[in-house]
Structure 1
Amino acid sequence: MKDSLFNNLKKSDFGDNFIWGTSTAAFQIEGSPYDDGKKASIWDEFSHKKGKIHKGQNADIACDFYNRYKEDLLLMKSMNITNFRFSLSWSRILPDGTGSINNAGLDFYDRLIDECLQLGITPWVTLYHWDLPQSLENKGGWTNREIVNWFSEYVKICVHRFGDRVKNWMVLNEPLVFLGAGHFLGIHAPGRRGVKNFIPAMHHASLCQAEGGRILRAYDPTLNIGTTFSCSYIEPYRDLEKDHKATKKVDCLVNRLFLELSLGYGYPFKELPFLKRVDKFYKAEDDRLLQFEFDFIGIQNYTREIVKSAWWIPYVQSINIKAEKRNIPTTEMGWEIYPEGLSKLLMKYNEYPGVKNILITENGAAFPDQLINGQVKDEKRKQYLQQYIEATLRAKKQGANVNGYFAWSFTDNFEWAEGYHPRFGLVYIDFDSQQRIIKNSGLWYRDFLRSQANN
């Protein structure tokens, strides 16, 4: 990359208060789906349906984090990682989603949080990372407005149990992804399809996003409260008015919708008229209930999208021109490697008056990893991380209020519909033996973080 900084990149360039960490999600790492009182989530059910997951794989064992968390946290500490973002499994705490509490589930997260703190690792908790209790899905799940009450009950239990030790909270993980893939396209759990499912689920998730924030704030006004959004830098395929118009539609849906609802902008009916169907599910008080003033937003960026006008595509009238057709470097997911997109997104979000602080709560890449003679020489991932961290620094120097970076992910894990094929981890896992091996990218991250190991 021209004028690349990463050969001399130093953590001190970001300042003493910049937060460095790594991210995971409960369903992707824990395993033990029915141990100690836990019941099925929508992903437990979905991953056992024929044809839904790569090679028929499931997350029944995954990384066995439920049993190996102490080992993994010690490994994390050895890598100088002092901030750990993980999620709580709703159905481990409330097996039926509401009602009876599973004390064994609460005890597990007590042990996990306490172990983090004992090792000098700060816990960053995500309340919902896609694993809705199946019992609630049977009642309509996100399409049922009652989920606002169910979610509120869950959040209250979590913050009252863990809020004395956990000071950093995220309400939802990537609402557009779990709603779009799971309630419109049907390729993720629970496998619902069509706009008839997407619209109510979108509205109720947005209400939960704000209500979760209010519950956390009411418990302790000093908590650091955020929520996270998937985002991609969107650009037109051609310098044509129709492609620019298509770009605005996609950008509105992908990058703006859920943030702007929390900020009080309302639904972007002008850019996305199909959202007017939400009127059926809207109540008078929802203007207020959709809003919450978050302390930070987490942005999760992996790539950019190039879009072209396509009048025949419903709702957004556009298609994404895949990176492979543009003959450019990609990750194993087929995603374009475009670090400058992260810089541009940071500057874009920095312009919102209501955004107080920005953290990059996920960024990483999957590449074909090979374990040879006890080593994983993943130079492409190492370079990817370097370039995206450099892009973060560029934006910070240009004035973006970005103050944290969490690499996705700590270990290889169960990557949803793709199963175990894509490896995103800084740490390699042999899923047969459960052996952990720090990859070269993880060793680089360890050395990069060394100067702040005691912060």
Structure 2
Amino acid sequence: MAFRDDFIWGAAAASYQIEGNTQGVDGCADSVWDMCSRRKGFVLDGNTGFNACDHYNRYEEDVQIMKSLSLDAYRLSIMWPRVMPEGTGKVNQTGLDYYDRLVDELLANGIDPWVTLFHWDYPMALFHKGGWLNDDSSDWFAEYTRVIVDKLSDRVSNWFTLNEQACFIGLGHQSGMHAPGLQLATKEVNRAWHNALLAHGKAVKILREEAKKPAKVGAAPCFRTAAPASNSEQDIEAARQRTFNVVDDQMFNATWWMDPAFKGEYPQDGLALFGNDAPEVKDGDMDIICQPLDFVGINVYNSELVKMGANGQPEVVPYPNDYPYTHFRWPVTPESLRWTTQFLYERYNKPLIITENGLSTNDWVSLDGKVHDTTRIDFLNRYLLGLKQAADSGVDIMGYFQWSILDNFEWAEGYLQRFGLVHVDYATQKRTIKDSGFWYKSVIESNGSVLGSSNPLDGWRAPEDFNRNIKS
């Protein structure tokens, strides 16, 4: 049942969601999430990321927790305005040195840092200059990338450019649910989209040409995915089409990101759908965007269920109200990893790595001092079995990053949603490793061979005293 010998077992987090210490601490400047967190009603209960998990001060403790869970790798992100308060120009050396120390701490404990250059904390100073709508924005990102590469690439080998462009553009500039909270017309949304793609391409080029160690580069997009309602060839084809067809003017169409990045072109059905609102592609743009990538990263939490309709077109099958849902009201669909990876591998012929996958639940510390999140264990067990099915079918799966290592600030949901393998008491900052964390450790140490038990708790035991030794 084990995965391949060099399989990468990791966990992930994002700078703004865990670091805190954003309000001028050590020269850190505001991001658009700081800006929007001050807007009444934007974040649930008026929560902010100003303090979050205080990872900025507690990173050594948190790395020790990662080591105790036997992580091979940790996917972290860099907070752009912590490093460059104005977004360009002067570097805040104190902020940059923080990430320098974090990388050293990870490596000293046998954990490989996988660095994400941008995970939504866009400098507010650049937002005031137009943000992603400004055609200079890709050059701003390239300047920032060069600073990070110069500082960290002597030790960091694995890189992601952008995290979930569909969210920071689609939810941030179209629906307004996420920072910077804009509701723009489709033409302007696609302008921001195209500039972000240019930023991705320029960052990849800098990594290829200037990294001090050979760089492996990808991104961490998210988009609508689909799984077949049955194993019939017709339903599988319907799910494949649903995954790759541009079906609406939202930004969660897979090929709207993947085809430019991997094939150097926008898909024809998307161009036809958007018409005059499609991005303006200048000469040379696609040469910049379509840089060689080493793998396909993908954040996957759930999928639509699709069958082939009587008219020969994909048809979405609704999940019933009593279907298993997460605390976020996302359907539990273990087949997501099975089919999404297969479809992507067929189309782009690159190794796959799951850059995020996890479960939000309403966890709490029990009277015995532990967090018994059996639902998360069952969820991860099922999804990883789906991923193993894909690997067994011939899909080249490099690794898996669980989301997330810590409970954290969950954007517009504030602190309502808990995704972590480690419980955080936000009032005291006390960390408590959940049962799922110890279970995940057993999965890592067995390289997945413990998966598939009829009782997902079989074969592991949480150490009785470990959490007592974690600093309060």
TM-score (ref. length: structure 1): 0.89
What's the counterpart of residue 34 of structure 2?
Answer: 44
Q: One-letter code of the match for 1:201?
A: A
Provide the secondary structure at the position in 1 that maps to 2:217.
strand
Task: State the alpha-carbon separation in 2 of the partners of residues 65 and 115 from structure 1.
Answer: 13
Aligned length: 431
What's the counterpart of residue 150 of structure 1?
Answer: 140
What's the counterpart of residue 200 of structure 1?
Answer: 191
Superposed CA deviations along residues 3-54 of structure 1, whole A, max 9, x for unmatched, are xxxxxxx5xx112100000000000000000210110000111111101011
Residues 176 and 320 (structure 1 numbering): CA distance in 2 closer, same or farther, change over 3 Å? farther
Q: One-letter code of the match for 1:32?
A: N
Superposed CA deviations along residues 234-281 of structure 1, whole A, max 9, x for unmatched, are 3699x99x9998873349943222111012241124245343446663
Provide the secondary structure at the position in 2 that maps to 1:406.
strand
Superposed CA deviations along residues 43-93 of structure 1, whole A, max 9, x for unmatched, are 111111101011111011100000000000001101111200000000011
Q: One-letter code of the match for 2:325?
A: T
Provide the secondary structure at the position in 1 that maps to 2:204.
helix
Provide the secondary structure at the position in 2 that maps to 1:230.
coil
Task: State the alpha-carbon separation in 1 of the partners of residues 402 and 350 from structure 2.
Answer: 22
What's the counterpart of residue 114 of structure 1?
Answer: 104
Q: One-letter code of the match for 1:230?
A: C
**Which of 247-256 and 163-172 deviates more?**
247-256
Residues 322 and 435 (structure 1 numbering): CA distance in 2 closer, same or farther, change over 3 Å? farther
What's the counterpart of residue 225 of structure 1?
Answer: 217
What's the counterpart of residue 466 of structure 2?
Answer: none
What's the counterpart of residue 329 of structure 2?
Answer: 334
Q: Are 1:249 and 2:246 matched, yes or no?
A: yes
Task: State the alpha-carbon separation in 2 of the partners of residues 327 and 306 from structure 1.
Answer: 15
Q: One-letter code of the match for 2:10?
A: G
Task: State the alpha-carbon separation in 2 of the partners of residues 270 and 451 from structure 1.
Answer: 45
**Which of 210-219 and 250-259 deviates more?**
250-259
Provide the secondary structure at the position in 2 that maps to 1:148.
helix
Select the residue among 55, 59, 78 that pairs with 1:65: 55
What's the counterpart of residue 31 of structure 1?
Answer: 20
Provide the secondary structure at the position in 1 that maps to 2:394.
coil
8 Å contact kept, 1:234–1:250: no
Superposed CA deviations along residues 297-331 of structure 1, whole A, max 9, x for unmatched, are 211100113589xxxxxxxxx998874x5431110
> How far does residue 413 in structure 1 lie from its aligned partner after superposition?
0.2
Q: Percent identity among equivalent residues?
A: 39
Q: One-letter code of the match for 2:360?
A: A
Provide the secondary structure at the position in 2 that maps to 1:44.
helix
Provide the secondary structure at the position in 2 that maps to 1:151.
helix
Provide the secondary structure at the position in 1 that maps to 2:161.
strand
Residues 322 and 91 (structure 1 numbering): CA distance in 2 closer, same or farther, change over 3 Å? farther
Provide the secondary structure at the position in 1 that maps to 2:40.
coil
Q: One-letter code of the match for 1:348?
A: F
> How far does residue 289 in structure 1 lie from its aligned partner after superposition?
1.7
Q: Are 1:260 and 2:256 matched, yes or no?
A: no
8 Å contact kept, 2:219–2:297: yes
What's the counterpart of residue 304 of structure 2?
Answer: 305
8 Å contact kept, 2:170–2:252: no
Q: Are 1:103 and 2:98 matched, yes or no?
A: no
Residues 405 and 286 (structure 1 numbering): CA distance in 2 closer, same or farther, change over 3 Å? same
Q: Are 1:357 and 2:351 matched, yes or no?
A: yes
Q: One-letter code of the match for 1:434?
A: Q
Q: Are 1:16 and 2:5 matched, yes or no?
A: yes
Q: One-letter code of the match for 1:413?
A: N
Q: One-letter code of the match for 2:401?
A: F
> How far does residue 345 in structure 1 lie from its aligned partner after superposition?
0.5
Q: Are 1:391 and 2:382 matched, yes or no?
A: no
8 Å contact kept, 2:114–2:156: yes
Task: State the alpha-carbon separation in 1 of the partners of residues 131 and 375 from structure 2.
Answer: 40
> How far does residue 282 in structure 1 lie from its aligned partner after superposition?
2.4
**Which of 251-260 and 226-235 deviates more?**
251-260
Residues 141 and 170 (structure 1 numbering): CA distance in 2 closer, same or farther, change over 3 Å? same
Residues 269 and 431 (structure 1 numbering): CA distance in 2 closer, same or farther, change over 3 Å? same
Residues 284 and 412 (structure 1 numbering): CA distance in 2 closer, same or farther, change over 3 Å? same
Matches within 5 A, 1:115-130: 115-130=105-120
What's the counterpart of residue 310 of structure 2?
Answer: none
Task: State the alpha-carbon separation in 2 of the partners of residues 397 and 162 from structure 1.
Answer: 36
Superposed CA deviations along residues 408-428 of structure 1, whole A, max 9, x for unmatched, are 000000000001001000000
Residues 391 and 452 (structure 1 numbering): CA distance in 2 closer, same or farther, change over 3 Å? closer
Task: State the alpha-carbon separation in 1 of the partners of residues 277 and 292 from structure 2.
Answer: 23
8 Å contact kept, 2:222–2:252: no
8 Å contact kept, 2:227–2:340: no
What's the counterpart of residue 6 of structure 1?
Answer: none
Task: State the alpha-carbon separation in 2 of the partners of residues 44 and 364 from structure 1.
Answer: 25
What's the counterpart of residue 282 of structure 1?
Answer: 281
8 Å contact kept, 2:11–2:401: yes
Q: One-letter code of the match for 2:81?
A: S
Q: One-letter code of the match for 2:258?
A: L
Q: One-letter code of the match for 1:378?
A: D
Task: State the alpha-carbon separation in 1 of the partners of residues 36 and 205 from structure 2.
Answer: 31
**Which of 126-135 and 204-213 deviates more?**
204-213
What's the counterpart of residue 172 of structure 1?
Answer: 162
Provide the secondary structure at the position in 1 that maps to 2:114.
strand
8 Å contact kept, 2:28–2:82: yes
Task: State the alpha-carbon separation in 2 of the partners of residues 398 and 321 from structure 1.
Answer: 25
8 Å contact kept, 1:299–1:361: yes
What's the counterpart of residue 366 of structure 1?
Answer: 360
8 Å contact kept, 2:31–2:124: yes
Task: State the alpha-carbon separation in 2 of the partners of residues 183 and 87 from structure 1.
Answer: 22
Task: State the alpha-carbon separation in 1 of the partners of residues 204 and 277 from structure 2.
Answer: 22
8 Å contact kept, 1:249–1:272: no
8 Å contact kept, 1:410–1:426: yes
Q: One-letter code of the match for 1:224?
A: K
Matches within 5 A, 1:440-455: 440-451=435-446
Task: State the alpha-carbon separation in 2 of the partners of residues 253 and 58 from structure 1.
Answer: 26
> How far does residue 177 in structure 1 lie from its aligned partner after superposition?
1.4
Task: State the alpha-carbon separation in 1 of the partners of residues 315 and 140 from structure 2.
Answer: 37
The runs of 5 or more residues in structure 1 that have no matched partner are 1-9, 309-317
